[in-house]
Structure 1
Amino acid sequence: MIFAPVLIPPVQQGSARDSRGTRLLAHRFGGVLLFGLVFAGIALATRVALLVKAAPEVTWDASLLAAFAWGALFDVAAAGLVAAPMMVLLAVLPARWFERRWARGLAWVAGFAAVYLLLFTAVAEWTFWDEFGVRFNFIAVDYLVYTTEVIGNIRESYNLPVLLGAVAAGTVLVLGLAARSGGPQAWLGAAPVGAGRRWGLAAAGLAVVITLGAALQEDRLPAFRNNYNRELAKNGVWSLFAAFRNNVLDYEQFYRTRPERVAFDRLRRELVEDGSILLSPDESDTLRYVRNPGPAQRPNVIQITVESLSADFLGIFNPASALTPELDALAARSLVFENFYATGTRTDRGMEALTLSLPPTPGRSMVKRPRNEDMFTLGSVFRSQGYDTAFIYGGFGYFDNMNHYFGQNGYRVIDRNSVAPADVTFANVWGACDGDLFRWTLREADTSAASGRPFHHFVMTTSNHRPYTYPAGKIDLPSKVSGRAGAVKYTDQAIGEFLREAATKPWYKDTVFVIVADHCASSAGKTELPVENYHIPLIIFAPGGQIAPGRIKTLTSQMDYAPTLLGLLNWSYPSRFFGHDVRKIDPADAHALIGNYQKLGHLERGELIVLGPQHDAKTYRYDSHGGAQVPTAPSAYAEDEAISYYQSASILYRRGQYRSVKPDEQLRLAARLVPAARVAVQSPLSNP
């Protein structure tokens, strides 16, 4: 019987079951101590389990002992914060509350619920670590917001009845061991305490918890050489609350800065490395005119952004992989960027960089921030030239605020809510299968072409996401049980099928197809920013010959995608993009900006600058072959460049200056560059 301990009489002083331990618990607030012991025990067991799972990646030295010591501190602090409401409740309840039999029974019910929640959290931490290689962070906070998708994902990925049953069994075991110790009975049988003393003790306990919480911050953890060791030092519950609090970080408050004039002066010198002309050279702005020779091309552009497609999955980057025969064959006829990097580790980060050409802002991406309407996006540039622009997504676009962001930045939105039920032949919680998504894309392309307008479609896949399910019979790997390997191979098959169907369309040779990833499949690594886990593919295929096949080895990031694509089409236009057309700069000056929700990185010439939210900056020499990062002496020049990009992006967003440039304004800006007597500017795409 789960609640049989209710029937056990309170422990009497001097009885056979009395011990020093139970005497410590025989107090009105003994329940807080009891909860803390259970909390710390489960937290320690979780840390040990994660250590076993990450054993090949962990550094087995003294830093591991330090990680467990720090972990114990965070466990105690987290236990105190979680127990704070219990302290207040025990102060409020009447002095003889637990003398009532039903009140003791209610306490055991509450205990069961508390232990069950702690064990369920431990299981959730295990699955989160399995997916991301870290303790709870801002991703987990987002998951709490989008409960429909997350709960559905859990149901489709795991045997939920077995999992919940195992957690219940573990809860009974923990309560049974507690009952055998006599601790709960000692607490429930404690002598009454007057109201004044109850409130005094509760106030003292809360003061200790608040003080400890203020003094102990994750940012004060030592800089472990191995990031896995550092993650083990954290407490999952504490990390979840910390991520919730720091979901939006103001750059200028938390990071190193330079005087605004100095930051923008340095940024402007960087921006004109591609030969562009500053239009506001004395202002805090990135506005400039990008000029490209030759006649502007106006093909359709279908951009397929593939969920979690690491470069390592493709045979062209990893000969041992056989998961992408379609993309490998396509690469031979395409322009391939061999050194292309994601700016972040989330889908919304990829969308931010691919559309806005912005550095990865700390905290939330621009896709989910307020005041993200009418920004300067790739879609706004296409739309200003009469293109039909659309965001096509297989899932429900309210997730991650995608519908609002794209809908307010020049794109029509087509998601699962926009199509008829018959248009979905297979789906999981994240969305329709990629085959369905590409069928919708063909239909949208047909409609746009029939209207006589060129089109740009941003297509976002979902199949390469846990639970990794897809239609049966499409590939030689079974759905779900094959895991990510099967999902990658299915997406590859769906892309190949889509391109073969597109080849039958009259608009095919007038279209440029882009295959790019939003981010890598895994972001975990031994370093703060494991650069190798940001390497993704970018393949541009032009069956009509608008863009010649080849290889570009220059270091490139998603931030450079939009200006490079427009440069390949010979467009001249006013720009606010932070990225470059990488073909027009010295490869030695090429760089990549990468980050997670707190750490911001800048990689150039093998030197990696990592900016942190405690106004810190670290410099490493990066080995692109082995991935090693060796601490080195600070470089003021490289640090200034990194700061100028991130700080300027923050300023422009805060002031609402990163806005789209309307067609009439484009004409005026273009005309400013050319004497009217010599050139009549007819279009922003003309080439003065």
Structure 2
Amino acid sequence: MITCKNRYNVLFGFSAMILLLSFLVRTALLCWAFPQSGLTIADIPGIYFKGLIYDLGVTLFFTFGYALYLLFLPARLNNTIFNRVFTYFTVFLAAMILVFSFFAEFTFWGEYSGRFDFIAVDYLIYTYEVISNINQSYPLPLLIGGVILVTAFLVWVLHRLGFFRSSFQSKTPFGKRLLITAILAGLTVLHISYVSNSWAEQHPNRYAQELSKAGVYSFVSAYLNNELAYDKYYMQENENMAFNLVRSQLQTNNSHYLTTGNNLLRQVTDTNTRIIPNVIMITIESFSADFMERFGNREHITPVLDSIAKQSLLFTNMYATGTRTVRGMEALSLAVPPTPGQSIVRRKHNESLFTVGYIFGQAGYDRGFFYGGDGYFDNMNNYFGNNGYDITDRLRHKFVDDKLTSTRTNIPDSAVHFENAWGICDEDIYDAVIRNADNKFAAGKPFYDFVMTTSNHRPFTYPSGKIDIPSGSSREGAVKYTDYAIGEFLKKAASKPWFKNTVIILVADHCASSAGKNEIEISKYHIPCMILNLPGVAPQEIDRMCSQIDIYPTLFSLLHWTYNSKLYGEDVLSPSYQPRAMVSTYQKLGYLVPGKLIILSPQQKAEFFTWNQEKNEQHAAPMDSSLLKVSIANYQTAYNLFKNGGMKR
């Protein structure tokens, strides 16, 4: 029981509660992650020490406003009903926010093996999808009830220990209150000035970094640092030298630059007869290469795709540029390296860009973007609609963006057989693609479609009776349904008159998980890509390391197109092609070549690793200065071009 009467006792008790709960959450996450983390016992003290510093920061931020209230509350009001009600309500509300955030940390860790980051900030904006997803994935009434009960219990403990009574009955003089508040203010200022999330990221093990952080602290840090200026935070080369290096890298025997200076506009020439097929790209949500039997999986959950792999142009060594759908969309539509912070899909001033769709448009194609969810999410409609694509999605938000320069079609209820938080099932979106293709074929127009699926996403629900795994039971079920739906789409499409002249691209937007013991876990970027129905091209496997950004330059070469380009992607089949891939998180920018990895980080840092692909092992090594220059040049010029309008068409 608290016997010392002090107006700040509730604040001190609440602070102790935050620190204790944070310690317990960190300990639970450590136990969860330890078996696969690569951590040693020697790493644990540092994790808890840094964690305590971050937890103190959270405590200061949470309580400072209440400290100001206690400072200025007149003594005559301290033991009144007003102050009692206000204090109990404030403590209950703050405790409930903390308890909910701690619960959310476990669900977020289960999905991403990390503390809150830009993804959590993004999801906070899109409340319908996120709340629906939580409701369909977890017993929400029980969870909310549990949060309220735990909060009530914590407040009751503080009450039983006498924190409230000793605070209300105190007569702490103003001078002492001023001193306590000044100390708290000074500690808060010191924490803001000298502690940042990057402090946790100095440890070479990614799990140690994430376990050292505090979820609430990381969330606020991510919110405040949503955009990262490359020219402010990352290593740079002389701008002219950087562009000269990239121009040289992209120069081929069949291309020439149309202008001089710091741009990449060039013409790629092919003297063979041009082929003009329809092109449908199916971008598969969260589809890791290791889901397929071809890449070692033994669960037999992708029979369709494993069969297709033997009949197509199969890229066996392709890597996604990032860990989110919008990053994959950026790579597949712009063919550029990922820039730090948000994907270009979500940024301002991303209209009228020199996209892959623009190249198709110049060749006379109608272009379409198909999404099973609401295209308002992640700014998809705005991005594709203002870059020449006609939109077909499942509209669910209240307002329609009247600034779109392309048409937009809502998928009606009559065409929907199954729907969850993220959108309609894959079979339904494929039916919409087929209906559109029928119309385009009847009008005599070649078409290029960018199709984004949703079924391989939590809560992993799909129509019943389609496969032998119950809906909502596991990721494996969602993968198998995704595979099944692709098979059904191809069966229906094969019966159409337009199919014989239609190339089908199957590629993942990113992997199902990016977590690993390394900052950039390369194996978690490995994705499958297949190009089916290519005229005059026999099935084959391409084992050269490459990226999502290389798909269309390779396809255009196979189709013998002459076209203007600003793409960073290259023709993987060209004899002069040098294998490489770009892999990133929101802050870490990786440049990968066989056996080597450069990682560029904020604060002008760069690290070099050797990489054993077969064993999936990374080891720090002395810097490769020539590879560092190439890495910097690619990322620096991509940032420069977008920032200064050089990616505009």
TM-score (norm 1): 0.90
Is 1:307 equivalent to 2:285 in the alignment? Answer: yes
- 1:563-604 Cα deviation digits (max 9, x unpaired): 1221221111111001111111445x2100010100000011
Q: Is the 2:114–2:210 Cα contact (8 Å) retained in structure 1? A: yes
Q: Secondary structure at the match of 2:541?
A: strand
1:163 corresponds to which residue? 143
Counterpart mapping for 1:138-537 below 5 A: 138-194=118-174, 198=177, 201-221=180-200, 223-273=202-252, 275-281=254-260, 283-417=261-395, 418-481=410-473, 483-537=474-528
Q: Secondary structure at the match of 1:472?
A: coil
2:89 pairs, out of 99, 103, 109, with 109
Return the offset for 1:614: 1.3
**CA pair 92-147 structure 1, distance change in 2 beyond 3 A:** farther
Distance in 1, Cα, partners of 2:169 & 2:135? 42
Return the offset for 1:222: 5.4
2:103 corresponds to which residue? 123
Q: Is the 2:254–2:270 Cα contact (8 Å) retained in structure 1? A: no
**CA pair 585-274 structure 1, distance change in 2 beyond 3 A:** farther
Counterpart mapping for 1:46-65 below 5 A: 46-58=25-37, 59-65=39-45
1:593 pairs, out of 582, 606, 609, with 582
Return the offset for 1:275: 4.7
**CA pair 319-37 structure 1, distance change in 2 beyond 3 A:** closer
Return the offset for 1:288: 1.4
- 1:281-329 Cα deviation digits (max 9, x unpaired): 3x11111111234111100000000000000001111241311101111
Q: Secondary structure at the match of 1:96?
A: helix
1:31 corresponds to which residue? 10
**CA pair 218-319 structure 1, distance change in 2 beyond 3 A:** closer
Q: Is the 1:546–1:569 Cα contact (8 Å) retained in structure 2? A: no
Q: Secondary structure at the match of 1:338?
A: strand
The amino acid across from 1:453 in the alignment is K
The amino acid across from 1:46 in the alignment is V
Counterpart mapping for 1:68-83 below 5 A: 68-83=48-63
Return the offset for 1:453: 0.7
Q: Is the 2:312–2:538 Cα contact (8 Å) retained in structure 1? A: yes
Q: Is the 2:554–2:571 Cα contact (8 Å) retained in structure 1? A: yes
**CA pair 274-356 structure 1, distance change in 2 beyond 3 A:** farther
Which residues of structure 1 form unaligned runs of 5+? 1-16, 661-688
Distance in 2, Cα, partners of 1:222 & 1:336? 37
Distance in 2, Cα, partners of 1:274 & 1:342? 27
Higher deviation after alignment, 651-660 or 214-223: 214-223
1:620 pairs, out of 609, 625, 635, with 609
Distance in 2, Cα, partners of 1:189 & 1:358? 65
Return the offset for 1:204: 4.0
Return the offset for 1:68: 1.1
Q: Is the 1:28–1:193 Cα contact (8 Å) retained in structure 2? A: no
Q: Is the 2:47–2:212 Cα contact (8 Å) retained in structure 1? A: yes
Higher deviation after alignment, 182-191 or 399-408: 182-191
2:592 pairs, out of 595, 603, 607, with 603
Distance in 2, Cα, partners of 1:247 & 1:547? 44
Distance in 1, Cα, partners of 2:531 & 2:91? 58
Is 1:567 equivalent to 2:571 in the alignment? Answer: no
1:670 corresponds to which residue? none
Return the offset for 1:169: 2.1
Distance in 2, Cα, partners of 1:239 & 1:122? 13
Q: Is the 2:588–2:601 Cα contact (8 Å) retained in structure 1? A: yes
- 1:521-563 Cα deviation digits (max 9, x unpaired): 0011100000000000100001x63433111001011121221
**CA pair 181-201 structure 1, distance change in 2 beyond 3 A:** closer
The amino acid across from 2:19 in the alignment is A
Q: Is the 1:297–1:546 Cα contact (8 Å) retained in structure 2? A: no
Distance in 2, Cα, partners of 1:257 & 1:169? 53
**CA pair 288-321 structure 1, distance change in 2 beyond 3 A:** farther
Q: Secondary structure at the match of 2:429?
A: helix
Q: How many percent identity over aligned positions?
A: 42
Higher deviation after alignment, 167-176 or 330-339: 167-176
1:647 corresponds to which residue? 636
Q: For this pair of structures, how many residues does the alignment match?
A: 634
Is 1:581 equivalent to 2:571 in the alignment? Answer: yes
Return the offset for 1:506: 0.3
Distance in 1, Cα, partners of 2:369 & 2:609? 39
2:646 corresponds to which residue? 657
- 1:170-211 Cα deviation digits (max 9, x unpaired): 2232223222322232222221433x7645643442232022
Q: Is the 1:273–1:585 Cα contact (8 Å) retained in structure 2? A: no
The amino acid across from 1:545 in the alignment is P
Distance in 2, Cα, partners of 1:67 & 1:343? 30
Distance in 2, Cα, partners of 1:394 & 1:222? 37
Q: Alignment RMSD, CA only?
A: 1.5
Which residues of structure 2 form unaligned runs of 5+? 396-409
Q: Is the 2:200–2:210 Cα contact (8 Å) retained in structure 1? A: no
The amino acid across from 1:45 in the alignment is L
The amino acid across from 1:451 in the alignment is A
Return the offset for 1:92: 3.4
Q: Is the 2:545–2:594 Cα contact (8 Å) retained in structure 1? A: no
Q: Secondary structure at the match of 1:247?
A: coil
Q: Is the 1:98–1:188 Cα contact (8 Å) retained in structure 2? A: yes
Distance in 1, Cα, partners of 2:313 & 2:331? 20
Distance in 2, Cα, partners of 1:368 & 1:320? 37
Distance in 2, Cα, partners of 1:531 & 1:82? 38
The amino acid across from 1:300 in the alignment is N
Q: Is the 1:541–1:547 Cα contact (8 Å) retained in structure 2? A: no
Higher deviation after alignment, 60-69 or 401-410: 60-69
Q: Which has the greater radius of gyration?
A: 1
Return the offset for 1:443: 0.2
**CA pair 298-34 structure 1, distance change in 2 beyond 3 A:** same
The amino acid across from 2:341 in the alignment is G
The amino acid across from 2:443 in the alignment is S
TM-score (norm 2): 0.95
**CA pair 318-44 structure 1, distance change in 2 beyond 3 A:** same
Q: Is the 2:359–2:564 Cα contact (8 Å) retained in structure 1? A: no
Return the offset for 1:215: 0.3
Distance in 1, Cα, partners of 2:36 & 2:227? 30
